[in-house]
Amino acid sequence: MTVIITSCSKTKRYFVPHNMSIASCKKGSLAEVSNEWVDRLKNYSGETYLASEFYGGRGFVYAKDTAQKLNANLAVVSSGLGIIKGDTKIPPYGCTVVPGSDDSVKPMISDNSFSPQGWMRAMQYASPVSKSLTDIIKGDNGLILVSLSAGYLRMIGQDLATLPTEVKERLRILTRAPLKDIRPDLHRFVMPYDKRLDSPLSSYRGTMSDFASRALQHFASEIMPLEGENKALQTRQINQSLDRLIEKPYKPQEPALLEQSYDDELPLLNGLRDNDHSGPCL
């Protein structure tokens, strides 16, 4: 079975209590803040929700819909929970490594110990709902479609790179991140998606924030049915598909021409003017 790995979303579909926001924790070192946060996750006794139903946002919905179409297992990389299965019940929470958000972790770290990778390792190690990447893909022998932005790829890059060789051969990384922002030992698993996907002729164009999910849609709909699981053939087919979007010059659709041109109508208009006895219009 195919596995799809996507990221969580800032948009949550359910109410998040104040004490389940990282901003309500005491400031301290990464270890201190992560320990308090994990304690809150473990001690939460309210209503929980399926991970696949908790997140909103266009990119997440794209990934979820693709998983349903492929009958694939969905996994979510979450800043506040670690790596979780889509069918795991999770508490409502607010926590992100993205700076500038009200639920951002970084302002809570009072020293220089913060890094997104370090925080994610703490969540994967201690979160009561997190699973290792090995556990996530256990029992599945299909493709592993990693649909993530550069930041999330950095957070789980080590996990991907240390998978067994035979498992890594099933990786397909779908992202807009430049190769310089991705671990070198993962480069050969990156599919050649780029700005061509956003050509005016593309039915998959959209915003940069959901690029990875749109690349996932294209790969699942346009590539997998044609090329199965052969990575070399898939790479070639992606390039051919995207190249076709830029080979044709884009022309805005022009209004349909009238059956009779304006020049053809001039004699008729002149005749009406010559025979007009109605007087001036007031």
- List pLDDT tens digits, range 107-120: 999 999 999 999 99
Grouping H, G, I as helix, E, B as strand and the rest as coil, residue 90 is strand
Grouping H, G, I as helix, E, B as strand and the rest as coil, residue 106 is helix
Q: Other C-beta atoms within 10 Å of 188: how many?
A: 12
pLDDT of residue 278: 38
CA distance 152 to 71: 24
pLDDT of residue 226: 81
Token pair for residue 181?
């922002």
CA pseudo-torsion sign 165, 169, 171, 172: positive
| Burial (CB count within 10 angstroms: exposed 0-12, middle 13-18, buried 19+), residue 235 | middle
- 125: DSSP letter: H
Q: With contact defined as beta carbons under 8 Å apart, do 202 and 185 qualify?
A: no
Look up tokens 């430049």; give the residue.
Answer: 178
Amino acid (1-letter code) at residue 218: H
CA pseudo-torsion sign 232, 233, 234, 239: positive
Reported for 200-207, long-range contacts at CB under 8 A and 24+ positions apart, including other chains, are 200/250, 201/245, 201/246, 201/248, 201/250, 202/245, 206/58, 207/58
Q: Other C-beta atoms within 10 Å of 49: how many?
A: 16
Q: What is the CA radius of gyration of the chain?
A: 26
Contact residues for 125 (Cβ-Cβ < 8 A; gap 6+): none
Grouping H, G, I as helix, E, B as strand and the rest as coil, residue 136 is helix
Per-residue pLDDT of the chain (282 residues; tens, 9 = 90+): 999 999 999 999 999 999 999 999 999 999 999 999 999 999 999 999 999 999 999 999 999 999 999 999 999 999 999 999 999 999 999 999 988 889 999 999 999 999 999 999 999 999 999 999 999 998 878 999 999 999 999 999 999 999 999 999 999 999 999 999 999 999 999 999 999 999 999 999 999 999 999 999 999 999 999 867 789 999 999 999 999 988 665 554 444 433 333 333 333 334 433 444 433 334
Token pair for residue 85?
């299965």
Amino acid (1-letter code) at residue 91: P
pLDDT of residue 268: 34
Q: How far is CA 154 from CA 103, 151, 161, 249, in A?
A: 20, 5, 11, 37
Grouping H, G, I as helix, E, B as strand and the rest as coil, residue 173 is strand
pTM of this structure: 0.86
| 239 alpha-carbon distance from chain centroid | 20
CA distance 124 to 131: 7
